[in-house]
């Protein structure tokens, strides 16, 4: 039987890419997301250190480092870039409690990208976010490459609401999150 982890969920922002939690979080980041859906380690370090709108957080459940949550504050909405829980801690409600805390801390419009549900794992992710109040807003979205060299990658956009200016929000995501990534 799995041990339940019911510690209070907190986020601790990391602004120094050499901070102690990064030695554990970087392997989680690289294993939880395929290369096309994440930055390389050097680029991630530069974004953490240089971009005020980017929040790279360690997720703590009580005193246990449990995962990571990265998001962007983009004027009038939030773009949720990455959420991952360490494999041994999955299924203990930490992700659920983290999403509840996200809803409390980031009021208003929240957008995120997910893979189309054409395989079991992406289908579970879409269903998971739906259970937490997100809906599919755009099935024709193409994620720009993080490295500026790969072709755009087809993803879906989900959100906790349908903003009236969704196309403007997505243009801002492309401009702020993906533009000029090689020169950060």
Residue 155 has pLDDT above 80, yes or no: yes
Q: How far apart are CA 18 and CA 1, in angstroms?
A: 36
Task: Count Cα atoms within 13 angstroms, Cβ side, for 23.
Answer: 2
Q: Are 159 and 134 in contact (CB under 8 A)?
A: yes
Res. 2 pLDDT band, cuts 50 70 90: very low
What separation in angstroms does the CA of 59 have from each of 27, 52, 62, 82, 162? 15, 19, 9, 12, 27
Phi, psi of 83 (to 5 degrees): -140, 125
Handedness of CA 151, 156, 159, 162 (dihedral sign): positive
Is 146 or 129 the better-scoring residue by pLDDT?
129
The pLDDT value recorded for residue 85 is 98
What is the tens place of the pLDDT at every residue in 3-60?
555 689 999 999 999 999 999 999 999 999 999 999 999 999 999 999 999 999 999 9
Quick one: how many helices (H) and strands (E) in the chain?
Answer: 5, 7
pLDDT tens across 110-144, in order?
Answer: 999 999 999 999 999 999 999 999 999 999 999 99
Each domain of the chain, given as residue ranges in start order, spans: 9-183
Supply 8's token pair.
């209070």
Burial of 70 (0-12, 13-18, 19+ CB in 10 A): buried
Out of 3.40.630.30, 3.40.50.300, 2.60.40.1220, 3.40.1410.10, select the CATH number for domain 9-183. Answer: 3.40.630.30
CA distance 2 to 18: 32
Tell me what pLDDT residue 180 has: 62
Number of neighbours of residue 55 by Cβ within 10 angstroms:
20
Contact by Cβ (8 Å): 40, 74 = no
pLDDT tier for residue 150 given thresholds of 50, 70 and 90: confident
pTM, full prediction? 0.93
Which of 130-134, 150-154, 158-162, 176-180 is predicted with the least confidence, judged by mean pLDDT? 176-180
């Amino acid at each position: 039987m799995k041990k339940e982890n019911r510690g209070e969920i907190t986020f601790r922002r990391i602004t120094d890419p050499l901070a102690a939690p990064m030695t554990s979080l970087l392997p989680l980041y690289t294993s939880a997301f395929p290369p096309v859906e994440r930055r390389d380690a050097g680029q991630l370090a530069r974004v953490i250190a240089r971009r005020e709108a980017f929040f790279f957080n360690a997720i703590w459940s009580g005193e246990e480092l449990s995962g990571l949550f990265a998001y962007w504050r983009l004027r009038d909405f939030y773009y949720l870039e990455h959420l991952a829980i360490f494999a041994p801690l999955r299924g203990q409600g930490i992700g659920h409690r983290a999403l509840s805390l996200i809803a409390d801390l980031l009021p208003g419009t929240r957008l995120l990208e997910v893979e189309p549900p054409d395989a079991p794992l992406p289908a579970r992710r879409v269903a998971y976010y739906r259970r937490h109040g997100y809906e599919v807003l755009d099935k024709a979205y193409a994620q720009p490459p993080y490295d500026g060299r790969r072709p755009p990658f087809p993803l879906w956009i989900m959100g906790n609401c349908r903003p009236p200016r969704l196309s403007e929000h997505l243009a801002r995501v492309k401009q702020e999150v993906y533009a000029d990534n090689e020169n950060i």
